[in-house]
Structure 1
Amino acid sequence: MYKSQRELKKDAVRAFLKDCKEGRFDGAYVFSGEEDYLKEHYFGLFKKYFLGPGDDQFALTVFDDMSFVLEDFLDELDNVSFAMSNRILLLKDVDTRKLKGEPRKQLLDALAAVPQGTAVVFYYDSAYLAGDDAARRARQSEITALGKSARLLEFSRQDARELVGWIRRHFEAEGKRIDDQTANYLILVTDADMVALNNEIEKLALYVEGPDVSREDIDEVASRSTGVNIFEITDCILSRNYDRTLRLLTACRLNREEPTVILYHIGVMFSELLYVALAAARGITSVDTVAADFGVKANRKFILRRYFNAVSTLNVDFLKQCIGLISEADRNLKKSRLNKWTELEMLIARMISAQIRK
């Protein structure tokens, strides 16, 4: 039976947890992926099962990319073999690409012979995989290579259906209720990030006096992600609401957002709109099909559903023109002497003008 990469990653995490519960441990692990909340949660479970109850202060040795020296790590690995209890050597965001030739061989040989009672954990947070496409690919390639010498666990962003169930369970634990539509709105506001969702659930549980959480409660309390501001900016462009767009840009500016980041997200959203418009023109209305055909991440499927409602009033040529304008603005941001926020405002005006002329 065929399984997607996403399902295979989930299976790997389930098998890892089962082994932990039954006392079967590997010598080395790699914790990676976009979802930091799940990564931290499962690393916490691993510590509990591997180290047992009590303070892990003396059982956990941490190296980061700045402090990592191969010789020190190898010495520590040898030393812990004499310890009376289990120990974890945690390497946080350590870029092993720096190790070439013999030093790299020494590291891989050490991972193949980790002493019993010791675990080496490479832990990479989502920021490690940030940056341009080339940097992300290079780092992901190294993580995959490490996975050949250690047990690789990758924690992907959850899709909307999974998150809705998770949100409802967490609110129920706080004595609150939330319906699916409101939960989906909270997902949109937090850009489907589980760390942000957890924080907002805690805030809302304290703020809401009655049993039910409403959209108005979310608007009153929740911190809005860059993603939701960008989504509203996109909506305003499509509805030709220039004044509202400028107010949203001002909010992004006050939040110290980078204009280049905002432009990138606008580009992503208009690219996804084009995917949906092309699919709809061919009679394809399945969100799963569009996501698979165009490589859209699972956690953005709920946004694709909203796009299907929008594209009925749009045409492909207009969306292609907008993407061309975004590409031109990207070049201008890199070389223009104009204020970058002014460049963004000019882009918005051009896109709205193109929408009026279509």
Structure 2
Amino acid sequence: MKNINQDIQSGQIKGCYLLFGKEDYLKHQYRDKLIKALADPEDNMNITRFHGSGLNVQELLEIANTLPFFAEQRVIVVENTSLFKKTPDNFEKQLEELPDSTHIVFLESEVDKRNRLYKWISKNGYACEMNTPDEKMLLAWIKGLCKEEGKAMDDTAIFYFVEHMGTDMLLLRNELEKLFCYKYEDPHITVQDVQTVCVSQATSKMFAMLDAIGTHNRNQALSLYRDLLALREAPIGILRMLLRHFNILMQVSALVKDGKNNKEIAAACAIPPFSVKKYASQATKYTFEQLRNMVEQCQDTEQQIKAGQVKDIVGVELLIVGFCEKERE
């Protein structure tokens, strides 16, 4: 990403860029930066977009070989095609022959790094993988957005925000906009503000219930379970949240044993980096075999509910009671 910024600042923008990875927010941000640096974003005569696997390669090349209309540059954006899995014959050679005024920006969720086109762009253009930033970068990014709006959000509030919202940067950006509007006259954003604006009452109680189970606090866990039922949360939905939670604990337990660091664990389990320590701490309260058994109990309970062998409300409550009583053997 640093290289793209340098290219834009220097005016030495390459003919081809590939932006790939799981973080759509970053891909779209840098796509738009490149477009803005090369042309008027509203110039439909010189900006062309292709999307999807049904790409007409011949049409793409014909447009790419056309000189810009009353402008200096032509920009072509190609998103989520199959070009980086199966590349047409001679496609790279045809890209080499394009006029200097043409710039192509490819966006992909996944690419095969053994692919000819990927290797060609890596050598002749620039390929940049864009995944969710690590804990330090995400923290700095959120603080930077707050600073732009004249707001301040301390680390505790940011950790709570990301833990409950996830690490999807587009979602985080949208939720921050809500917080900025809510705190229009007050520069300080707190955990309470996040709870009020971003986290639903049901979501907050769900996390609290999982924490109570993790600390073997049966009375609190059952009280929160009943609160969730009062909020009309379906028992089967609560059960699936339990299944997900203990499946993550099981994965974390195995990864910690394998010597993986927090960043590797977060990526493997698809959880925010900030949450790894909490999950790792809870995982230590059980053996791996206990966690696997708890995952299987969740699955068995769901099957029993579907088969009509137990009422959903009762089945989930019995599961919570059993989990709260489990201690590390």
The TM-score normalised by the length of structure 1 is: 0.70
Give the counterpart of 2:150 among 170, 175, 193.
175
Q: Distance in 1 between matches of 2:135 and 2:146?
A: 16
Gaps of 5+ in 1: 1-12, 130-138
Q: Distance in 2 between matches of 1:273 and 1:107?
A: 44
For residues 189-208 of structure 1, the aligned pairs below 5 Å read 189-208=164-183
SS at match of 1:147: helix
Deviations 1:156-192 (A, max 9, x none): 1012222222222222222222111111111112202
Moved more, 298-307 or 14-23: 298-307
SS at match of 1:55: coil
**Conservation of the 8 A alpha-carbon contact between 1:233 and 1:245:** yes
Q: Does 1:33 align with 2:13?
A: no
SS at match of 2:49: strand
For residues 1-358 of structure 1, the aligned pairs below 5 Å read 13-51=1-39, 55-65=42-52, 68-80=55-67, 84-96=71-83, 99=86, 104-124=88-108, 129=109, 139-141=110-112, 146-150=117-121, 151-208=126-183, 209-223=185-199, 234-238=210-214, 239=216, 240=218, 241-242=221-222, 244-245=224-225, 265-266=244-245, 268-275=247-254, 278=257, 289=261, 291-292=263-264, 296=268, 300-325=272-297, 338=307, 346=315, 349-350=318-319, 352-358=321-327
Q: Distance in 1 between matches of 2:253 and 2:291?
A: 6
Q: Distance in 2 between matches of 1:146 and 1:348?
A: 55
Pair 1:250–1:163, CA change in 2 (3 A): farther
Deviations 1:271-291 (A, max 9, x none): 344237747xxxx8xxx7354
SS at match of 1:158: coil
What's the counterpart of residue 136 of structure 1?
A: none
C-alpha displacement of 1:154: 1.4
C-alpha displacement of 1:233: 5.8
Give the share of equivalent positions with the same residue, in percent.
19
The TM-score normalised by the length of structure 2 is: 0.76
Aligned length: 315
SS at match of 2:127: strand
C-alpha displacement of 1:61: 0.4
Q: Distance in 2 between matches of 1:232 and 1:154?
A: 36
SS at match of 1:153: strand
Q: Distance in 2 between matches of 1:42 and 1:344?
A: 48
Gaps of 5+ in 2: none
**Conservation of the 8 A alpha-carbon contact between 2:239 and 2:316:** no
Letter in 1 for 2:286: L
Pair 1:191–1:357, CA change in 2 (3 A): closer
Pair 1:199–1:295, CA change in 2 (3 A): closer
**Conservation of the 8 A alpha-carbon contact between 2:54 and 2:81:** no
C-alpha displacement of 1:307: 2.4
SS at match of 2:261: helix
Q: Distance in 1 between matches of 2:12 and 2:232?
A: 48
Letter in 1 for 2:105: V
Pair 1:354–1:204, CA change in 2 (3 A): closer
**Conservation of the 8 A alpha-carbon contact between 1:171 and 1:178:** yes
Letter in 1 for 2:198: A
C-alpha displacement of 1:89: 1.2
Letter in 1 for 2:119: K
SS at match of 1:149: helix
Moved more, 316-325 or 192-201: 316-325
Q: Distance in 1 between matches of 2:93 and 2:245?
A: 46
C-alpha displacement of 1:338: 4.8
Coordinate RMSD, CA, aligned = 4.1
SS at match of 1:171: helix
**Conservation of the 8 A alpha-carbon contact between 2:23 and 2:169:** yes
Q: Distance in 1 between matches of 2:97 and 2:242?
A: 48
Q: Distance in 1 between matches of 2:213 and 2:128?
A: 40
SS at match of 2:120: coil
**Conservation of the 8 A alpha-carbon contact between 1:28 and 1:121:** yes
